[in-house]
């Protein structure tokens, strides 16, 4: 561990006063705790989700749990599986002013048993976990560039367990819930790394970083009404796995560090120090996910599926 890594304290983040971050899927799980940690450090956080009631409950929980925080939380409806919702949310964010970072966290962790498609015609898990974030990051690229901002893509250690090359990312053939999840995370990681290459080549002052939460479970996480309410049985099962799991709060640590640590560089990956759990440390994506040829192929797939071309030239200016 480097001296810089040893110095990082997830309980005492840098002062984020004056900074604004958008967190997708922030009404529960990792997104909620990342939002809470950012607000506690003084940031203005735009919490997003697709359910207005759950989103309101999450914002109320932040206020109740952090009564003395100097940061603020506001809400914005956003369904990453719906490209119309993504475009509308991005337009609202641009109108609200500056943006220092995007935490692209929202996703389906437990995919449906059978393949489903969105109204845009994309496979549901890919659309929610990857395509919606690709479209959102592209729509907000110039806003991020104005603040020399950062985007963080949520990867998964599952991509090192099941090394799927997403040659059929829409899973027209051989759909399974596990394949849908792993391939969506492989696409997310590959596209996040490809974004870094393209941003550098275009000289756009925005960094693209990957982060993963290890093995973080609801049953090992504090109960919060309307945000995290695991059953007794769920807590029992998750606690049986205590040596290899951690709470969602701790799982958010690498995500937040990837988003706000000034020493983090584009193209890096961050995760728990012990892979499944622990303080955040630099990690390494699986080798095949780093191949530029795969990045090029999946980038073009995302452009076609979302009808979004990132405005690199406008962002550079």
d(CA 183, CA 186): 5
Compute CA 100 distance to the chain's CA centroid, rounded to the nearest angstrom. 15
Q: Mention every residue, 6+ apart, whose C-beta is less than 8 A from residue 118.
A: 81, 82, 124, 127
Instruction: Give yes or no for a contact between 129 and 122, defined as CB atoms under 8 angstroms apart.
Output: no
Residue 304 in tokens = 């076609």
Measuring CA to CA, how many Å separate 266 from each of 38, 94, 210, 211, 285?
A: 20, 23, 9, 12, 13
Beta bridge partners of 104: 153
E strand intervals along 58-159: 72-77, 101-104, 150-154
Which is it for strands 44-49 and 101-104: parallel, antiparallel or unpaired?
unpaired
Among residues 21, 32, 175, 181, the one annotated as catalytic is 181
Does residue 181 have an active-site annotation? Answer: yes
What is the enclosing helix (H) or strand (E) of 300?
helix 292-306
Q: What is the pLDDT along the chain (317 residues), one digit of tens a residue?
A: 443 555 788 889 999 999 999 999 998 889 999 999 999 999 999 999 999 999 999 999 999 999 999 999 999 999 999 999 999 999 999 998 899 999 999 999 899 999 999 999 999 999 999 999 999 999 999 999 999 999 999 998 777 776 667 789 999 999 999 999 999 999 999 999 999 999 999 999 999 999 998 776 666 656 667 766 667 766 766 566 656 667 778 889 999 999 999 999 999 999 888 777 788 899 888 888 899 999 999 999 999 999 999 999 999 98
Cβ atoms within 10 Å, residue 290? 16
């Amino acid at each position: 561990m480097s001296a810089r890594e040893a110095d990082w304290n997830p309980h005492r983040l840098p002062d984020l006063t004056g900074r604004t971050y958008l967190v997708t899927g922030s009404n529960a799980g990792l997104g909620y705790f990342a939002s809470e940690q950012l607000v506690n450090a003084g940031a203005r956080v735009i919490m997003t989700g697709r359910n207005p009631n759950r989103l309101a409950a999450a914002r109320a929980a932040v206020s109740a749990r952090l009564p003395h925080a100097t940061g603020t939380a506001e809400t914005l409806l956003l369904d990453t599986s719906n490209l119309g919702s993504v475009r509308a949310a991005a337009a609202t964010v641009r109108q609200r002013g500056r943006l220092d970072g995007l935490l692209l966290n929202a996703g389906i962790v437990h995919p449906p048993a059978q393949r489903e498609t969105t109204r845009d015609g994309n496979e549901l898990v890919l659309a929610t976990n990857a395509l919606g974030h690709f479209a959102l990051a592209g729509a907000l690229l110039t806003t991020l560039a104005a603040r020399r901002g950062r985007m963080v893509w949520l990867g998964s250690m599952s991509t090192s367990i099941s090394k799927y090359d997403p040659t059929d990312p829409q899973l027209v053939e051989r759909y399974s819930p596990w394949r849908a999840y792993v391939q969506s995370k492989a696409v997310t990681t590959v596209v996040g790394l490809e974004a870094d290459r393209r941003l550098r080549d275009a000289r756009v002052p925005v960094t693209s970083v990957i982060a993963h939460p290890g093995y973080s479970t609801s049953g090992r996480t504090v109960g919060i009404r309307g945000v995290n309410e695991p059953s007794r049985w769920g807590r029992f099962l998750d606690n049986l796995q205590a040596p290899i799991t951690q709470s969602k709060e701790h799982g958010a640590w690498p995500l937040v560090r990837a988003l706000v640590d000034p020493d983090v560089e584009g193209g890096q990956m961050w995760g728990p120090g012990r892979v499944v759990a622990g303080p955040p440390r630099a990690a390494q994506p699986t080798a095949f996910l780093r191949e530029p040829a795969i990045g090029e192929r999946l980038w073009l797939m995302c452009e076609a599926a979302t009808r979004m071309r990132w405005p690199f030239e406008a962002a550079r200016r």
